[in-house]
Amino acid sequence: MLRLGVLASGRGSNLQALIDAIEAGSLAARLSIVISDNPHAQALERARRHGAQAVVIALEGERAAFEDRLVAALFAAGVDLVVLAGFMRLLGKRFLSRLPCPVMNIHPSLLPAFRGLRAQQQALDYGVKVAGCTVHFVDEGMDTGPIILQKAVPVKENDTEADLAARILAEEHQLLPAAVRLFAEGRLRLEGRKVRILPEKQ
């Protein structure tokens, strides 16, 4: 069974979507560890309620030491996949090169458009008619890794940032478990920048 490690900085609603999928039996995975850089993150309590290990690793001192502590905790938990679910730290080459498993991220835009923070407001400021969310593998750039799944949502005429964010978040809660499920089933193949989704095994 796939062993998941999740990094989250805040509410952890995407973490909860994964937990719900696991508990419903639609995602064959075990939540091994949740790590937050924020000791007050609601994600930690969600992890504890599910019976998963909840760990706080704050960014103190050198960034390299912070990334080393993350890797050590994930390695000790024996995870097969790391998911960034609202983790508000950019992880670099040191973290990715030392981690013995892939990393996925969920981002509230249709990448490669509107990378980084406040992607929903970026979309509104640009005047797009369609926004959405993306699950991608993480590389050394900011929201630049190979795209796994995307979901579009309409931008309405009088949308505020909060309106659009809520509409996108509802789709994130479906998209992230779906992407993790494909990984757990061995149906994702990385070919250069492209992620091929293999057919379901009969």
Mean pLDDT per 10-residue interval, the chain, length 202 residues: 97 97 97 97 97 95 93 97 94 92 97 97 98 97 96 97 98 98 97 95 69
Determine the pLDDT at residue 201. 79
Q: Give the integer Cα–Cα distance in Å for 20 and 14.
A: 10
Write the CB contacts of 189 (distance below 8 Å, at least 6 apart in sequence): 195, 196, 198
Determine the pLDDT at residue 202. 59
Domain boundary residue among 101, 128, 163? 101
> Are residues 124 and 48 both part of a single domain?
no
pTM: 0.95
Q: Give the integer Cα–Cα distance in Å for 43 and 50.
A: 11
* Range of the structural domain that residue 88 is part of: 1-101
Active site amino acids = 107
Domain boundary residue among 101, 131, 164? 101
Say which CATH number the domain at 199 has. 3.40.50.170
> Are residues 86 and 110 both part of a single domain?
no
What is the token pair recorded at 87?
A: 């983790």
Domain boundary residue among 101, 118, 142? 101
